[in-house]
Copies of this chain bind each other. A is one copy, B any other.
Amino acid sequence: MRITVCLTDNRPDAWIEGLRAALPEAMVENWRPGAPQADHAVVWAPPQEFIDDQPALRGIFNIGAGVDALLKLKLPPEAQVVRLDDAGMSVQMAEYVCHALIRHFREFDIYEADARESRWSFRKPREREDFAVGVMGLGVLGERVAKAVAQFEFPVNGWSRSPKAIGGLRCFAGEAEFDDFLGASRVLVNLLPLTEATRGILNRENLSRLNGGEPGGYLINVGRGAHLVEADLIPLLDSGRLAGATLDVFEVEPLPAEHPFWRHPKITVTPHGSARTVREASIAQIAGKIRAVELGEPIAGVVGRERGY
């Protein structure tokens, strides 16, 4: 069995070494144009040239949870596209979202500003019943985030394409229940996959529905930059419709230095680090899946190309 590795923005050496150790029966090599035809590929944002050069791939394993960049390519129709599920990412996502949520709810950013002025201040505590959290996307990451948030006794709503039942969450599904989900949520956490159906879903109309249509909604975007209509956000913040936003992903990354998000007082920007790929856990997961595929066993994380995730 031959495995080829094609990573953008990641040094391949440690991945190749780890895959060789995990799959000693395989030939694992970094891809170069004209390399021998491989059975499986381990990829991050490969160029179309790579795909065209490897038409007989049976498995294409993405080293991230989101496959939107990969699905933009023209892929061999028979190849199974597989995303990471969890592999150490869900705990990071739960951390990121809980930190942003608690920071906003408890107003720790304002207390820190007071502290810079040596000011011992008192702010009336807010009621957590008023801060229902809505999680969009209830895959492995979304479910973990929702459960972490529920532990802090916030009301939690979940929204997914197909109906789900998850303990402790009020679950909404599909377009028909989307507006009700938004209205019932004050803090919106986006963990959707980026597909044609979800592109631009964080727009003025939808964001205005948060919190029963009242001011005070808050956005945490850890999905993809293209979920958000960036031009809609600042007017919603400046009019007070939204209270703030924590954003980890952007239409253009790195976020250009002149972008107004950097310095807007109600926006917290982080550089797409909410949940990084953990190499060892990812190698173990991908090696296990490759072995399962070779044995004809079912695996998790197979992407539905039509669906887009």
Given contacts A120-B271, A271-B120, contact A98 B96 (CB under 8 A): no
The distance in angstroms between the C-alpha atoms of A118 and B256, with both chains bound, is 8
Chain A stretch 36-89: residues in CB contact (< 8 A) with chain B: none
- Among A105, A123, A259, A262, chain B packs the most CB atoms within 10 A around the CB of A262
Chain B hits for A178, CB < 8 A:
none
Contact for A99 among B108, B118, B123, B254, CB less than 8 A: B108
Q: Are A95 and B270 in contact (CB under 8 A)?
A: no
With an 8 Å Cβ cutoff, the count of chain A residues facing the other chain is 42
A269 at the interface (CB under 8 A from B): yes
The distance in angstroms between the C-alpha atoms of A272 and B117, with both chains bound, is 16
Q: Are B269 and A115 in contact (CB under 8 A)?
A: yes
Q: Are A102 and B95 in contact (CB under 8 A)?
A: yes
Residue of B nearest to A122 (CB): B271
The distance in angstroms between the C-alpha atoms of A151 and B147, with both chains bound, is 10
The distance in angstroms between the C-alpha atoms of A255 and B94, with both chains bound, is 33
Chain B hits for A128, CB < 8 A:
91
Chain B hits for A270, CB < 8 A:
108, 111, 115
The distance in angstroms between the C-alpha atoms of A231 and B91, with both chains bound, is 37
Chain B hits for A258, CB < 8 A:
118
- Among A106, A253, A257, chain B packs the most CB atoms within 10 A around the CB of A106
Given contacts A111-B270, A112-B268, A121-B271, contact A96 B91 (CB under 8 A): no
Given contacts A91-B152, A106-B95, A152-B91, contact A115 B254 (CB under 8 A): no
Q: 19 A-B pairs, CB-CB below 8 angstroms?
A: A91-B128, A91-B152, A91-B153, A94-B151, A95-B105, A98-B98, A99-B102, A99-B103, A99-B108, A103-B103, A111-B270, A111-B273, A115-B268, A118-B262, A120-B254, A121-B271, A125-B276, A148-B152, A151-B151
A305 at the interface (CB under 8 A from B): no
A2 at the interface (CB under 8 A from B): no
